[in-house]
Copies of this chain bind each other. A is one copy, B any other.
Amino acid sequence: METPNLKMLAQQLKLSISTVSKALRDSHEIGEHTKKKVAALAKKLNYQPNPHASSLRKQKSKTIAVVIPEIANNFFSLAINGIESIAQERDYHVLIYLTHEDYTKEVNIIKHLQGGRVGGLIMSLSLATKKFDHLHELTKHNIPIVFFDRICHEIETAKVTTDDFQGGLAATEHLIINNSKHVAFASISNTISIDNKRMQGYLEAINKHQIKTSNTSIIKCSNNDTNNYNKFKKILSGKKAPDAIFASVEKLAVTIYEVCNDLNIKIPEQLKVICFSNLTTAHLMKPSLSAIKQPAFEMGKEAASILFKHLDKNRTFIPNEHIVIKSSLAARGSTAIK
């Protein structure tokens, strides 16, 4: 079946293409009677304007890209949910790109996006990203970026995060108050912003409560589960094993649980565990997992709202702004006093 276009409508109505176009967009130049007729036929034929022609002509598209490290992750899928909900409301379209925590992939995706496929993007950095030339380049090409969660300080734009410092502080204090004497912090990367902030919060709590630390207090993990497993195993079976760990991200807590299962270490009796997490089944785990829950959905919504607001106004430069949305601590079994 032939997809209807303006020409087809114009012929059937014995009008010019421009009149039809204007009528559909409710221009004041067109009479009410004509508008009605055009709208009726458009509806009948289920006319949908060709988005490529429109984007080409207007030199902008109602499409954004979401560039994130991974999607099989509760935080990011909730964030997409938030982004998509706003996009659907505002008639924007959402392209998904996954970097898989790979710097080269991230660069290639960004390079490609310079072609003008999207009006802007919402992004969370890969763990491997330490240089930001590709991002500077993109903004130079008038494609704005809004960062969320793993933000990039080097780029002047809007950034949406949760209160990572406060969360880190609260998580650590929660462990301390619940009788932990040697609290460790498990970091997923020393480059990304949020990990750092959470560690700052951890350190603040450590200092405030004068908790003793050792050289294993800060456990430097990576994105490699096996390596992390071995590292935790070594530390937890060692002499100076901590009696509590605050894990920067969910996956580290999962690995810690696995190590504890295998080493027969009892949570929370021998080791208390808390982490940033959006697991829907945290309360059903053994033991139930205490967590700082990030407002992932809201963060996505906020990031999208900011971006769309600027795109709607043809503003390709977004001034610095840091939106912080509060997270909440859910105390559960993994940090209980027994």
Residues of A bordering B, CB below 8 Å: 1, 3, 46, 48-53, 55-56, 61, 63, 66, 70-74, 77-78, 80-81, 84-85, 88, 93-98, 105, 111-112, 114-117, 137, 140-142, 254, 257-258, 261, 279-281, 284-288
Contacts and interface: CB of A to CB of B under 8 A. Distances in A.
Contacts of A254: 280-281, 284
B46 A50 contact: no
A70 B81 contact: yes
Among A49, A97, A280, the one with the most B-chain Cβ atoms within 10 Å of its Cβ is A280
A84 B56 contact: no
How many copies, total? 2
A277 B46 CA distance: 39
Contact of A286 (B116, B141, B285): B285
A81 to B, nearest CB: 5
A71 B61 contact: no
Contacts of A51: 52, 115-117
Given A140-B1, A141-B3, A48 B111 contact: yes
Contact of A1 (B49, B77, B93, B142): B142
23 contacts: A1-B140, A1-B142, A3-B115, A3-B141, A46-B111, A48-B112, A51-B52, A51-B117, A52-B52, A52-B53, A52-B55, A52-B116, A53-B56, A71-B81, A80-B96, A84-B96, A95-B95, A254-B281, A254-B284, A258-B284, A281-B285, A284-B285, A286-B286
Contacts of A77: 71-73, 77
Contacts of A46: 111, 114, 137
